[in-house]
A and B are shown apart, each in its own frame.
Chain A
Amino acid sequence: MAQFRPGRDVMVVGVGLHAFGRFPEQNLSDLARDAVVDALRDSGVPWSAIPVAYFGHVYYQGMSIGETTLAQLGLTGVPIINVENACSSGSTAFWQAYWGITSGVFDLALAFGAEKVPSGPVTVTAENSPARYIGGDHMMAGYALRMKRYMEETGAPASALAQVSVKARHAASMNPYAHRKETYSVEDVLNSRLIADPLTLYQCCPTSEGGAAAVLCAADALDTYGVDRSRAIRVAAAALTSGNYNGRGSDHSAFSPYRTEPAALQAYEMAGIGPEDVDIAQVHDAATIGELQQIEALHLTPFGEAWRATEEGRTALGGDIPVNTDGGLLAMGHPFGASGIRMVHETVTQLRGEAGPRQVENARVGVAQCSGAGDVTTVHILTR
């Protein structure tokens, strides 16, 4: 069991995004740099004041890509750490930034992430690994196995799962940063091309390109750096876990549905709140089934009932527990290194009351949950 010794309170004081989508003219550093500049401007903190930076990314784009990216802002000698933790790389960078400040080592930290994910099915293992012959190394097939089992166990109809994607597109239609903004119906989702039964194309997140960044600051140092207190959002919990299967081994772990729960329980304990206090949640919806299972693992609904909450509109904008209020992975797309920080961006934007037409009224507590291969889970809780 993890031991927490958080020290100083930590605030998110700036967030930035590069739009998600396809940008053939821009390289990874361009996407990352634009998000960082956006976040620094939002915070009011000058680049020269940043004492440490963590960069989340997965695909290899040359050595020390974080350093070459930030060199464009000026060579300040800042320590820069490149972070790879699968789809949770960005949120792991954020987690490190939090602990770097709360521990007392730094007053400020920059967490940023970017990715240019190639098109086509995503695999986890190296080329020529036995998994390639065996056929199990297929991210969306893994989600399809979870989906089939979930539908079997809970009686969820295919339409309830499709509704997750319809909801995502509706939110994204109000988000200029989203990769996919066109709305569609449950029928459209169900009639789209089958990828791996029962999962259809419109229930899988697009692989995308994009960047995201956040500037964090110790609560007791806000005035030192001239930060606007009224827009600072507190990080109430930062939890990161790897696999924990109570002895069932790792042979099916990439597909185990409820691996989020240990990180969620740690985060609630650290924040001193419970799931009933959560106003909004951003969760890892790489496929529709993912959103339902993350909602349940976060205890936002009882196990086996997130599909019903979705059908009833409770997880949509206007519902009592809005989930993936910016469109989530399903509509934002999924640039691995950026996604976890994108969730923080949306949470901060909502808690500040700056989400425009997507604004959730009186949102005070937001959860951001991100999963990755290797059974990585991060859960961050932000409060106003």
Chain B
Amino acid sequence: MSTDQADVVIVGAGLAGGITAATLTAAGLHVVCLEQGGWPDYDKARADFPDYEVTADRYWARDPNTRRAEADYPVDDTDSDISALMWNGVGGGTVLYSAKWHRMTPGDFRVRSHDGVADDWPLSYEDLEPYYVEAERQLGVSGLAGNPAYPAGEGPPNPPVPIRAAGRRMAKALNELGWHWWPGGNAISTRDYRMLSPCRQHGTCMSGCPEGAKASTDLTHWPAAIDRGADLRTGARVTRVLVRGDRATGVEYVDREGRLHKVEARAVIMCANGIGTPRILLLSATSEHPDGLANSSGLLGKRLMMHPFGAVAGIFDEDLATHSGSWGQQIQTMHFYESDPARGFVRGAKWGLQPTGGPLGLTRSYPWGQSPEPMWFENFHDTLASRLGHAPMWSLIAEDLPHEHNTVTLSSDLADSDGLPGARLAYTVDENSKRLMDFHVARAVESFEVAGARETIVGPHVRASGWHLMGTAVMGDDPARSVTDRFGRAHDIPNLFIFDSSTWVTSGGVNPAATQAALALWSSDAFLRQGQLSRRDLRTGAAA
């Protein structure tokens, strides 16, 4: 087994891993990052080719159980209402994400105080606000400042994506209803910005952006971090975090040739996402930590949140050019975002208006199978022609409350290509989410009706919607009730950190990348600011 040393070893080169590596290398630390996958192959981004729709879900499949690439690990979702989606490679989820960009609102951090459920975060919107601004700069976010769904403050650096005919149509309808809406925020650049090019509105953002317009950390963070000396090792699957007593000493990993290596480090930072991180910490159990590392609270792997997802499409007589457009979102609304006791549920959802893509996608059963217009046989031509370009869709992200019975554990019968146990999910969509979704779906239908849609189509609950993986190593002030402190430092092992979406206390009802990026900056900043691992500390052995 080879052994080498670093100041910091980061596990996972996704959203949090990329941002953390870039921040820590800029501060002069020697960072090794271990990533089980490789770099995304943008030659497989086929937006400009006639075969796009036929090939898109092959290389860019979202479910690791379908993709089954060497870098993937199996996720047993038999007992889960939702299956987990992810990209295991440099860039992580940002390679696949549709880049809808939303900060959480101040109230999202205060769910217990406002609604009497779940917990408050040990930090506030105001704490994160400067980090949101910085994350938006780093990822070249496009959008418009001044959204009344948030406190006033600085907005993103790039102007919003074009509203297009569909956005205009729905904005007018929401104005008629007196409902809030705002230009869509997207981690998609609308002009030449640092390493990003302007978006060309293909509507293929989740299957490889061929322009380099969508901000994923393989583009926005890793090249600069590597230039500054970050040692990113791909095809390096971490098998366990090594500990001595209550100190992490480094990690062990296996390379693609099956060779085992060790990296010793002063600090270990987990950025392997809401499933990968608890999986590794559970795999790292020792006789001193029999239930996994950093698990004296018993909460490691619990409180999994995945954001139940809803889709409502409208079909219009007019051509609204909905086959393309940034995807992403043209506009968004948070009109029903805050709790209203009269509705019979707590919390809310955000809706984003998006295109629906090319013709092959419109023949698929989700959500189109719910249409009373049959697709096949003598109806084929009329149905397809009536949908193509005529069908904007609201995608609904609903707040998911944390429950300890929603868990990530180790699979007893599935293993990855290196023989390590896969993850196992147990997750049910709760009653609050169901009521919340019913209400929001009904309002979304109403909005299409007011806009003059000929038909509305409501997608049924869909399993393949676990795009957001949160909560499985919750942060908090009380070590008996949380895994890390508010800066992501494990209570039990003070030089083990978790900077990914595992630490979320609640999920908010918006897409998570903005908050995840801000949290990675906030945690990295605290890591450096508190002198936990400054160069001097390292040399004198006085690290935290």
- A and B together in one complex: no
Residues in chain A within 8 A of chain B (CB atoms): none
**Which residues does B use to contact A, with CB under 8 Å?**
none
